[in-house]
Amino acid sequence: QLHLQESGPGLVKPSETLSLTCTVSGGSISSSGYFWGWVRQPPGKGLEWIGSMYFSGRTYFNPSLKSRVTISVDTSNNQLLLHLRSVTAADTAVYYCVRRTSRYSSNIYAVWFDYWGQGSLVAVSS
Amino acid sequence: QSVLTQPPSASGTPGQKVTVFCSGSSSNIGSNTVNWYQQFPGTAPRLLIYSNDQRPSGVPDRFSGSKSGTSASLAISGLQSEDEADYYCAAWDDSLNGHWVFGGGTKLTVL
């Protein structure tokens, strides 16, 4: 069974960089066909996609966050990394690691997030 | 403001059928499949429906999804108290080089 586990500091100061690691177990982050990414949820609010990456390097980012986000893959440790620069209080959220899977059937190409980590709460405060 | 529009709340009594709607545009729901996620307080979202109307293994057949044009819906029949949760729709959006968009979420209350 695939398992995603987020880890990182629970508190980051304003203007600094938020860094999180997602460790994948029960499967390889280099498996063909899967994108790996991040979704966040501010306290009491809805879900917001941050970005996704294929192990070979292809990336997609939320247009509103693109200028501040770096996502990378460490295949040797089976980990996904997130760096969000110049954070403010608005970046306070639970950050989830997700796997995106896809299927092409009956002329329909479908994509969805099938696995989620338990989430890591990051607060931005001085 | 979320790109996909959902009602903030919905409610029903045990045994009833409740439908949650999700409205989008031609660049997201109109062009791509829709997924639904269920989230209980303090836990991660769980995939409920993928590819408009497909249920992952383990999801009761009381849950069903559909899509028409630029809108989608999630129906829950035979409502149970344990269905009380937040529900989110999501779809890929082809604009701006492509990105994922979510609905703002619907809090379902079982009366």
Residue A21 near residue A76, CB atoms below 8 Å: no
Please choose, from the candidates B67, B84, B95, the residue with its C-alpha nearest in 3D space to the C-alpha of residue B10.
B84
Count A/B contacts: CB-CB distance under 8 Å. 66
A111 touches chain B (CB under 8 A): yes
Q: What is the largest CA-CA distance in chain B?
A: 44
The pLDDT value given to residue B1: 83
* Percent with pLDDT over 70 in chain A: 100
The pLDDT value given to residue A57: 87
Q: Using the beta-carbon criterion (under 8 Å), do B88 and A46 form an inter-chain contact? A: yes
Q: What is the pLDDT along chain B (111 residues), one digit of tens a residue?
A: 889 999 999 999 999 999 999 999 999 999 999 999 999 999 999 999 999 999 999 999 999 999 999 999 999 999 999 999 999 999 999 999 999 999 999 999 999
Please choose, from the candidates A97, A82, A94, the residue with its C-alpha nearest in 3D space to the C-alpha of residue A124.
A94
pLDDT of residue A19 exceeding 90 = yes
Tell me the residues of chain B between 70 and 89 that have a Cβ less than 8 Å away from chain A: 88
CA distance A66 to B13: 43
Q: Closest Cα of chain B to A16: distance in Å?
A: 26
The pLDDT value given to residue A16: 98
Q: Using the beta-carbon criterion (under 8 Å), do B56 and A114 form an inter-chain contact? A: yes
Tell me the residues of chain A between 40 and 99 that have a Cβ less than 8 Å away from chain B: 46-49, 52, 60-63, 96
The pLDDT value given to residue A108: 86
pLDDT band with cut points at 50, 70 and 90 for residue A94? very high
pLDDT band with cut points at 50, 70 and 90 for residue A107? confident
* Sheet of B18-23, strand order: B18-23, B71-76, B63-68
pLDDT of residue A105 exceeding 90 = no
> Nearest Cβ partner of A110 from B51, B88, B97?
B51
Residues of chain B neighbouring A114 (CB-CB closer than 8 A): 47, 50, 56
pLDDT band with cut points at 50, 70 and 90 for residue A106? confident
pLDDT tens digits for A40-90? 999 999 999 999 999 888 999 999 999 999 999 999 999 999 999 999 999
